[in-house]
């Protein structure tokens, strides 16, 4: 059994803590819909990185790196989805319409949105392909196994951090829920952020 390096844990934590689309989605969900919804968002975003981790483990993400057409297709699909989320959030007035759904349906849709946000980001596959091998033991006889274990640890850390982000944001939300103007301002700020991230992703070069 190989040892999990402290460098891997620290670097992974720093990467996960950096606000990206998944973090922003989880925070916005927590602020407007509460802690249950934020946990659903965290699970969805975490599930969305599983295909990227699997692709990196199997080496399939090299296809995205070598095939401009595949990379561009996934990239523009992801950018379009982020812009769609921005438009959906901007057109709402006040709280999300998820509150009018049943709890099961609403939480499921929140999780699916989080899943799509990450699975449609081709940069994640390329990131994991470059990142995980850095921490594989140089003399290992089973690099695939080590990458698999590192992937599981990264995924568990992602879920834990996202849930913590969501719970913290839920605690803050009580101070703004009674201010319709603050809710609209925050909602449109998140919408603008998603739109900017979508445009940034669309302009990303391979």
The confidence score (pLDDT) of residue 45 equals 94
Q: Which residues of 155-191 are buried (b: 16+ CB within 10 A; e: fewer)?
A: eebbbebbbebbeebbeebeeeeeeeeebeebbeebb
The total domain count for the chain is 1
According to the model, what pLDDT value does residue 62 have? 65
Q: Please give the residue range of the domain that contains residue 26.
A: 21-202
In a domain, 15, yes or no: no
Residue 182 lies in a domain: yes
Shortest CA distance to 33 belongs to which of 161, 187, 154?
A: 187
* 129 domain residue, yes or no: yes
Instruction: Enter the pTM of the model.
Output: 0.74
Residue 78 has what pLDDT? 73
Residue 1 included in any domain: no
What is the C-alpha separation between 106 and 97, in angstroms, rounded?
9
Q: What is the pLDDT along the chain (206 residues), one digit of tens a residue?
A: 567 888 889 989 988 888 788 888 998 888 888 889 999 999 999 999 998 888 877 766 566 566 666 667 767 877 887 787 778 767 765 444 444 444 555 889 999 999 999 888 877 877 887 788 788 777 777 777 888 888 899 999 999 999 999 999 888 777 665 566 666 767 777 778 778 877 877 776 65
Check residue 149 and give its pLDDT.
87
pLDDT of residue 206: 54
User: Is position 67 within any domain?
Assistant: yes
**Predicted pLDDT at 92:** 63
Q: Specify if 3 maps to a domain.
A: no
Cα 46 versus chain centre, distance: 6
pLDDT of residue 180: 60
Q: What is the DSSP string of 169-195?
A: HHHHHTTTTT-HHHHHHHHHHHHHHHH
**Burial zone of 100 (CB within 10 Å; 0-12 exposed, 13-18 middle, 19+ buried):** exposed
């Amino acid at each position: 059994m190989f040892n999990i390096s402290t460098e891997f844990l620290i670097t992974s934590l720093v990467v996960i803590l950096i606000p990206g689309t998944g973090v922003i989605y989880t925070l916005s969900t927590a602020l407007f819909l509460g802690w249950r919804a934020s946990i659903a968002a965290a699970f969805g975003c975490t599930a969305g990185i599983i295909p990227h981790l699997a692709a990196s483990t199997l080496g399939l993400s090299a296809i995205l790196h070598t095939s401009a057409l595949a990379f561009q297709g996934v990239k523009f699909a992801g950018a379009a989805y982020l812009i769609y989320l921005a438009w959906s959030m901007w057109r709402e007035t006040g709280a999300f319409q998820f509150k009018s759904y049943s709890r099961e349906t609403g939480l499921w849709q929140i999780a699916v949105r989080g899943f799509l946000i990450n699975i449609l980001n081709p940069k994640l596959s390329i990131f994991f392909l470059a990142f995980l091998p850095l921490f594989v033991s140089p003399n290992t006889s089973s690099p695939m196994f080590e990458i698999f274990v590192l992937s599981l640890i990264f995924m568990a850390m992602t879920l834990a951090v996202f849930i913590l982000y969501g719970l913290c944001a839920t605690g803050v939300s009580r101070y703004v829920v009674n201010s319709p103007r603050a809710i609209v301002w925050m909602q449109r700020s998140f919408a603008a952020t998603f739109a900017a991230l979508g445009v940034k992703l669309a302009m990303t070069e391979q």
